[in-house]
With several copies, the nearest count.
Chain A
Amino acid sequence: MKLVTAVVKPFKLDDVRAALTSFGVKGMTVTEANGYGRQRGHSEVYRGAEYQVDLVPKVRLEVLVEDEDVNDVIDAVVSAARTGSIGDGKVWTVPVEEVVRVRTGERGPDAL
């Protein structure tokens, strides 16, 4: 089992979710995040004092998938989240050793 984590632009969340759903992924966990990278932040001015905001709002998705689906899931996320402009984000995967569904105690692929 793998955990696919994606950090993407917030307004792309719906597209990514739709892509995953049509691929058959049944669930995911979403966190608000802020990204720092090539994409420039913005500046704000309050009574003449200027502040540079370097963090850019992002959403961070975690999707547990079976091993054989990893590449397809990555591709689905990447193509759904892409706008082509800087700051589209990253997708990465880490190996998962165990997954449990809390409600039933099911483990492994059945837990998804």
Chain B
Amino acid sequence: MANPQFSSGDTAWLLASSALVLLMTPGLAFFYGGMVRVKSVLNMIMMSFATIGVVSILWVLFGYSLAFKGTNPFIGDLSAVGLHGLLKTDSGTIPELVFSAFQLMFAIITPALISGAIADRVKFGAWVLFVAVWTTIVYFPVAHWVFYFNGGKGGWIGDRMGAFDFAGGTAVHINAGAAGLALALVLGKRVGWRRDPMRPHNLPLVLLGAGMLWFGWFGFNAGSAVAANATAGVAFMNTQVATAAAAMGWIIVEKIRDGHSTTLGVASGAVAGLVAITPACGTITPMASILLGLLAGAVCALAVGLKYRFGFDDSLDVVGVHMVGGFVGTLFIGLFATSVLTGGAKGLFYGGGFTQLGKQAVAAFAVAIYSFVLAYIIGKVIDKTMGFRVSEEDELSGVDLALHAETAYELTMATHTGRSFAGATPVGGSMTISEDRTVTQ
């Protein structure tokens, strides 16, 4: 390596982190998938997997270039389309492709998060289209605003204004939460909402997803140090304790309010904590992280009730957890940022006045509004043209069967017998069903 700065240690951590962040999207798929009814779990999972497919391709084609190149404060340029010319370049202490792969994983999970708001009722093709468009005109620019540092010639939120968002409280969580709200409004409520039971069909699957998210999130947050150093250590520790505290915060609220602490609550609280610590993990102390966690867990536990008050069916609480949690964490920095970690700026409670808090609020609201408006428009256009929502009949019978011709489980031996093999299409042959049946040996 010609680059004297190159660090195999940093590279090792970023490679591992990239893998960890990729894992979060399947984790999310199970977290969400376990929460829906048995008739739409596969669709829920598939929305996440298809998002991985679409966004990865867009990223190589132009996404990385739009987010991480150029000198414009609002959007990148096309100098690295097709990841052209990056096979041997470095980005700081690591290979540029490793940085690009790491950031790709963020671009994947952000739209995937949105799917939770519109469970059980989305046309699959419409979802794929929405992901492609929203990622291009919302995520890539917003990632540029927040994550692109170029010595003062980077994005307007992070590099120029100096708002802190260590790992994506604004660019990922507020962004996804606001878009989720928009789509929940565009698509409307599920048939039977607030009348029919819509309980999670598989809570161990939800907890598995939560466990995978927690695990992967160490890559998300500590990886965002883009180095294996003390900052990564701070981010790691803060992530752990804020998440732990938020899990406790959520179930304490439940215990007081409902009389029971629930498994879904502990998982939801953990995710709320992960969300809230995401922007803050590099700029606050572990003690402040405990406080942030408890706060985020409690606030989000209350916020998921908002949809019943205002009457929008944010099915899996993308707003209540990701948007609200993102706001809590982003603003908390304005209160508790310590100059030991920021290298200067201080939060309100450390004597920094309202400056940082103001920047944080601008960042949070700018992203929220931009994302909400654009997502609403994209959603409406899709809805008016190709249609965004399945028919009521398909929704009632379940989108797994209607959209994917599959059902999730076949756990008893007896019902097997209600099925019969009806043919398969071998390569190069047109075998009809009836032929096929007679061919059986």
Contacts and interface: CB of A to CB of B under 8 A. Distances in A.
Q: Do chains A and B touch in the complex (CB under 8 A)?
A: yes
B401 A10 contact: no
B418 A34 contact: yes
Given A11-B417, A13-B418, A55-B418, A42 B401 contact: yes
A67 interface: no
Contact of A48 (B199, B258, B396, B419): B258
Interface residues of A, number: 27
Contacts of A57: 412-414
A58 B420 CA distance: 19
Interface string A1-37: 0000000001111100000000000000010101010
A54 B254 CA distance: 23
Given A46-B199, A47-B264, A52 B422 contact: yes
Residue of B257, B406, B422 with highest tally of chain A CB at under 10 A: B422
Contact of B420 (A12, A30, A47, A51): A51
B260 to A, nearest CB: 6
A94 to B, nearest CB: 23
B305 interface: yes
Contacts of B257: 48
A53 B418 CA distance: 6
B391 to A, nearest CB: 14
A48 B427 CA distance: 10
Interface in A58-88: 58-59
B165 interface: no
Nearest to B405: A45
Contacts of B406: 44-46
A4 B339 CA distance: 76
A102 interface: no
Nearest to B257: A48
B197 interface: yes
A46 B198 CA distance: 9
B262 interface: yes
Interface of B: 197-200, 254, 257-258, 260, 262, 264-265, 268, 301, 304-305, 308, 317, 396, 401, 405-407, 412-425, 433
